[in-house]
Amino acid sequence: MNGWLRYSVVLFLSCFLTVARGAEKVATISINGPIGPATASYIGRAIGEAERQQAQCLIIQLDTPGGLLDSTKTIVQSFLASPVPIVVFVSPSGATATSAGCFITLAADVAAMAPTTTIGAAHPVQMGGGGGEQKPDDTMKEKIENYAISYIEMIAAKRQRNVEWARSSVKESASITADKALELKVVELLAQDMNDLLAQLQDREVKGQKLQTKGATVVEIGMSVPEQVFQRLWRPEVMFILMLIAVYGIIGELSNPGAILPGVLGAVALVLALYMSAILPVNVAGLALIGLALILFVTDVFTPSHGILTGGGIVAFLIGSLMLFDRAEPYFRLSLGYIIPATIVTALFFIFIVGKGLGAQRLPARVGVETMIGQAVPALTRIDATSGKVFIEGEYWNAVSEVPIAVGQLAEVVAVRGLTLQVQSKTS
């Protein structure tokens, strides 16, 4: 009887542990593209969600060309403070963890790579959130580089990874394949896919606990709608388009007062463009050239320069657009497919729309009493300094003239004073 009871207890515990193990969860997210504020927000929220679900770990599938240091620092800090084990998996095959991606991979509790992936090239090109800084001088470049080196060395030492290679990834832009990264102890695991990774993570001790990942339920945490929108908007071409909408809208409203809609759209686009300029690496020189181009376009409307100012504006706008963003990094480059059409459209906008609008404002009034000035009509009665009558614009008007005008003689309107017209003889 005791043997049967013992067997029943063992069977019950075995079934309980099997069920418990089957209920284990592994949270996962995918990062594919530049590292920016939306990415940092997404990762921070995912860590909180993984903790709430009591996941064994959070696996971040990473494929990035790099990004902003401010966002990278936020991500690294969230990794170091996370109660949930963080696993960064550079995948699928062909993926890269370049620049900011190298910092993020080295900061994970467990770093893994798929075959034929690469990591490295972490030398800083443009560190920080943009905000319109000018190109740094040699002293500033050296300070930025030294900071990046010390930062990545701190991360690698914290995670007990190859500090010397981490240093070379910044100082010499070193880049290595997954096999070499495993050999140099830059990463711990080389996995074919997610299932292979989960199998290799089984019973691995991280943050004082053994991971139970084999056969665990994989729960994918997706981006929220605001994160998806901002991730798509956080691109140089989007800011460039917003900047153009702001220019067209505001100047269109000024040249055609009362339209309202162009002014509202321009103001909204301007606010969004200014917000994005604090994140993207905007070059002040490029921005100044675009501003100069707009001034030349507007000036040419008022000055008979025979198109010289417009030609200068086109050249300034084209060069300014090319210089507007940091072109050293591929994801900060503004394509000529945007720049050339934008230059043509902007030039045409100022030549035709703004030019016609401002020109129309300088034309004589075509409605109201001012339209009567300059018209000549026959006098209905004798017009002198005190009295007289004319018929104009379908109405009878009082008229006065310093020189008397006989009945039937043409009287030219020279001024309107209340309900009385000041006229003069057409022949005088």
Q: What stretch of H or E contains 325?
A: none
Which residues on neighbouring strands pair with residue 282, listed in sequence order? 325
Reference 424, options 403, 397, 396, 394; nearest CA is 403
Look-up: residue for tokens 């798929």? Answer: 114
Reference 109, options 199, 41, 188, 167; nearest CA is 188
Look-up: residue for tokens 């686009």? Answer: 269
Interatomic CA distance for residues 256 and 260, integer angstroms = 9
* Domains, the chain, ordered by start: 24-229 (3.90.226.10), 235-361 (no CATH), 369-425 (2.40.50.140)
Is the Cβ–Cβ distance between 416 and 373 less than 8 Å?
Answer: yes
SS3 (DSSP) at 411: strand
At residue 310, the pLDDT reads 79
Interatomic CA distance for residues 242 and 151, integer angstroms = 35
Interatomic CA distance for residues 69 and 414, integer angstroms = 70
Is the Cβ–Cβ distance between 395 and 375 less than 8 Å?
Answer: no
7-24 burial, b at 16+ Cβ within 10 Å, e below that, comes to: eeeeeeeeeeeeeeeeeb
Phi and psi for 80 in degrees, rounded to 5?
-65, -30
At residue 132, the pLDDT reads 40
At residue 92, the pLDDT reads 93
Residue 385 falls in which region: left (phi positive, over 0), alpha (psi -120 to 50) or beta: alpha
Interatomic CA distance for residues 316 and 258, integer angstroms = 31
Give burial (CB, 10 Å; 0-12/13-18/19+) of 270: middle
At residue 305, the pLDDT reads 63
At residue 291, the pLDDT reads 86
> For residue 336, how many other CB atoms are within 10 A of its CB?
12
Q: Which amino acid is at 108?
A: A
Render each residue's pLDDT in the chain as its tens digit; 428 residues: 455 555 454 445 544 444 444 468 999 999 998 888 889 999 999 999 999 999 999 999 999 988 888 889 999 999 999 999 999 999 999 999 998 999 999 999 999 999 999 999 887 754 444 444 444 556 777 788 888 999 999 999 999 999 999 999 999 989 999 999 999 999 999 999 999 999 999 999 998 889 999 889 999 999 888 887 777 777 788 888 888 888 888 777 766 666 678 788 888 888 888 877 766 777 788 888 888 888 887 777 667 666 688 788 888 888 888 888 765 555 667 778 888 888 888 887 777 766 555 555 555 555 566 677 878 889 889 888 888 998 887 788 899 998 898 888 888 888 888 888 888 888 65
At residue 119, the pLDDT reads 95
